[in-house]
Structure 1
Amino acid sequence: MRIILLGPPGAGKGTQSERIVERFGIPQLSTGDMLRAAVAAGTPVGLEAKAIMEQGGLVPDTVVVGIVADRIEEPDAKRGFILDGFPRTVQQAEALDRMLAKKGIALSTVVELKVDEEALVGRIAKRAEETAAKGLPVRKDDTPEVFKTRFDAYRRQTAPLSDHYAKAGMLETIDGMKPIDTVTQDLFALLERHAETAAS
């Protein structure tokens, strides 16, 4: 089962990814982690990424796709994977599509956690208040202002991915505003369906 999980900051992708990993026994592939691992391992793509990062540049899509391509060849990803934090743009999605097609691999599904922006901002503000009330430091990301900025960036860059995958007939949506356990149940039901289809 090969899944891409989409959704804005605060939608609960991290929590749900952990539960999918536990339930289906497939790894969660974070581009940040993969990039660091490739650099540490000194792979050809990792060395290229390291040289770019040392000059303060942004790692180009071709390099990131190369790192994903290497990672999905590893034994633990043979049964499937969850892509987390990638693709972020339509260009990255197209590069990923080409790479997977070359390997003869197809995505099982792309799931978007749909959330209400106003309600999310309220949720984040409440979390910040509760954290402060306990005398604990509030995460920078947990201030409504910072959160709004991140949400705007998501809407501009990443939201068009929904259209990309919807046109490809791959997009499925889940209501991310429901209680966490209900979202998990909805997600599992959807993924079980794909697992059965793949097995038949």
Structure 2
Amino acid sequence: MNIVLLGLPGAGKGTQAKIIVNHLSIPHISTGDLFRQAYQAKTELGLRAKEFMDKGELIPDEVTIGLAFSRIGEVDCARGFLLDGFPRNLNQARALRNYLDSGSKQIRHVVYVEVDENLLLERLTGRRVCVGCGTTFHLIYNPPANDNACDCCNGEIIQREDDREETVKERLKINKELTHKLVQFYGDEGILRKVDGAKGIDEVTKDVLGLF
């Protein structure tokens, strides 16, 4: 079964992705992992991707698409796969459709974990990290016993720059525009499945697994 997982930052995609792949016994393919693995293997596409990342620039579609297609073509994807972070835009979505069509395959489900932006903002800006051991906390969902110290090592608790409200709002804005277009695209294809990501993790999991 071939699946695409969509959702804005903070929607809980990572948590659900792990559950889905364990349930269906298919590989989890994320763009972050693809870039890291390709660079570590010193592949041509991996080295090209690293050049753009080092400059802080977006990786061109042709590089991302090439890496994704190479991974999808591996033996362990024969029974299916879950794509997380790819496709990121319409160009990539169309390329994926054409690639799978050429091999008489298709995406079976596109799961969109939908969460209100205000809740996403709360989830993302409430995150805190220990500078000592890296333990992650959340001011609402998993607060430290002491606001200023880590429960594990007593290290300082800080808010990372990319978790600050202004940064989070910009991330959500950019991702919302891209995701909205993908939601429309896959809606027109008739394979979009929406789940309410505002529910508890177990409830979301039940809804997601009920799709397959």
Q: How far apart are residue 47 of structure 1 and its match?
A: 4.7
Please name the residue that 1:158 is paired with: 179
Query: Which is richer in helix?
Result: 1
CA distance in 1, matches of 2:11, 2:99: 28
Q: Which amino acid counterpart does residue 84 of structure 1 have in structure 2?
A: D
Residue 34 and residue 133 in structure 1: after superposition, are their counterparts in 2 closer, same or farther (change >3 A)?
A: same
Q: Which residue of 2 aligns with 1:71?
A: 71
Name the CA distance, whole Å, in 1 between partners of 2:9 and 2:52. 27
Does residue 1:119 correspond to 2:119, yes or no?
yes
Matches for 1:11-160 after TM superposition, within 5 Å:
11-50=11-50, 58-127=58-127, 128-129=138-139, 130=143, 133=147, 135=149, 136-160=157-181
Conserved? CA contact 1:35–1:49, under 8 Å: yes
Structure 1 residues 163 and 43: alpha-carbon distance in aligned structure 2, compared to 1, 3 A threshold? same
Task: Provide Cα deviations, 1:102-149, integer angstroms capped at 9, x if missing partner.
Answer: 222211110101111112223334444335826233343433332211
- In the aligned structure 2, how far is the partner of 1:141 from the partner of 1:82? 27
Q: Are residues 25 and 139 of structure 1, via their aligned partners in 2, closer, same or farther at CA, if it must alter by over 3 Å?
A: farther
Task: Please tell me whether the aligned partners of residues 27 and 77 of structure 1 are also in contact (alpha carbons under 8 angstroms).
Answer: yes
Percent identity between matched residues is 43
SS at match of 1:133: coil
Say if 1:5 and 1:82, in contact at 8 Å, map to a contact too: yes
Q: Could you tell me which amino acid in structure 1 is paired with residue 167 of structure 2?
A: V
Going from structure 1 to structure 2, the CA distance change for 1:166 and 1:54 (only over 3 Å counts) comes to: same
Deviations 1:47-94 (A, max 9, x none): 554566567654321221111111112222221111111111111111
Asked whether the 8 Å contact 1:65–1:99 carries over to 2, the reply is: no
> Do the aligned residues in 1 keep the contact of 2:121 with 2:169 (CA within 8 Å)?
yes
Q: Structure 2 length normalisation: TM-score?
A: 0.80
* Matched residue SS, 1:158: helix
Contact 2:113–2:194 (Cα < 8 Å) also in 1? yes
User: How far apart are 1:43 and its partner, in Å?
Assistant: 3.5
Worse-superposed segment, 163-172 or 114-123? 114-123
**Cα 1:12–1:54 shift into 2, 3 Å:** closer
Query: Which AA in structure 1 matches 2:205?
Result: T
CA contact (8 A) 1:7 1:113 kept: yes
User: How far does the alpha carbon of each residue in 1:11-37 deviate from its partner, in whole angstroms, 9 at most, with x for none?
Assistant: 000000011122111111011211222
Could you say what the CA RMSD is over the residues aligned between the two structures, in angstroms? Answer: 2.2
TM-score (norm 1): 0.84
Q: How many positions carry a matched residue from both structures?
A: 191
1:181 aligns with 2:202: yes
Judge conservation of contact 2:125–2:168 (CA < 8 Å) in 1.
no
1:62–1:95 Cα contact (<8 Å) kept: no
